[in-house]
Amino acid sequence: MIDQLTSLKPLHPTLYQLASDGTSLDFIFSQCPVCGTVNFPANVPGCSHCGDPLTEAPRLTRPGQGELLEFVTIHVPLIPDMQAPTIAGDIRIADGIVEEGVIGVKDESGLRTGMTLKAIAEVREAQGVYACVFVPMNEEVAT
Ligand SMILES: [Zn+2]
């Protein structure tokens, strides 16, 4: 997995990068230099708390993970290249920051709200990229 990924680029380089284990993703945040609030994505136009433009804000990376708040199975492709069915969820990746993500499990039976998910790289060889997919914390690679 690691060797394969080194030549691949993140599909959304402003949001995440490959973690040192070669499988997990680190999320990229910016920390407001005025009030200290952590913002995501890092390139938001202003701090969500105080409105500072964040032009001087340092980036910080954290392991991509979060709490599953809710999820739903989508049976119709909503965008090109989307597989159906796909399970999508709202995941709290940091205090006050909820992102929608794809959950890489076959069906909902192993999911429950409140569980911790982690972000891993989903290789899309043909496009030369890896994308972000969430899986339950203790599972390895999505199938
Ligand atoms: Zn701020």
User: What confidence score (pLDDT) does residue 2 get?
Assistant: 53
User: How confident is residue 43, by pLDDT bands cut at 50, 70 and 90?
Assistant: very high
Domain boundaries, the chain: 2-136
Residues with CB under 5 A from ligand 1 (ion): 32, 34-35, 37, 47, 49-50, 52
Backbone torsion region of residue 11, taken as left when φ is above 0, otherwise alpha when ψ lies between -120 and 50, otherwise beta: alpha
User: What confidence score (pLDDT) does residue 83 get?
Assistant: 81
4 vs 57, higher pLDDT: 57
Residue 91 predicted with pLDDT over 70: yes
- What distance in angstroms lies between residue 57's CA and the mean position of ligand 1's atoms? 9
Mean pLDDT over residues 85-96, rounded? 95
Distances (CA, A) of 64 to 51, 79, 84, 95: 25, 24, 24, 13
- What distance in angstroms lies between residue 16's CA and the mean position of ligand 1's atoms? 21
By mean pLDDT, which of 2-16, 48-62, 102-116, 118-132 is the weakest?
2-16
User: What confidence score (pLDDT) does residue 141 get?
Assistant: 45
Mean pLDDT over residues 20-43, rounded? 95
- What distance in angstroms lies between residue 54's CA and the mean position of ligand 1's atoms? 8
Q: How much is the mean pLDDT over the chain?
A: 91
- What distance in angstroms lies between residue 47's CA and the mean position of ligand 1's atoms? 5
User: How confident is residue 117, by pLDDT bands cut at 50, 70 and 90?
Assistant: very high
What is the Cα Rg of the chain in Å? 16
Q: Which residues contact 14 (CB under 8 A, 6 or more apart)?
A: 28, 41, 42, 43
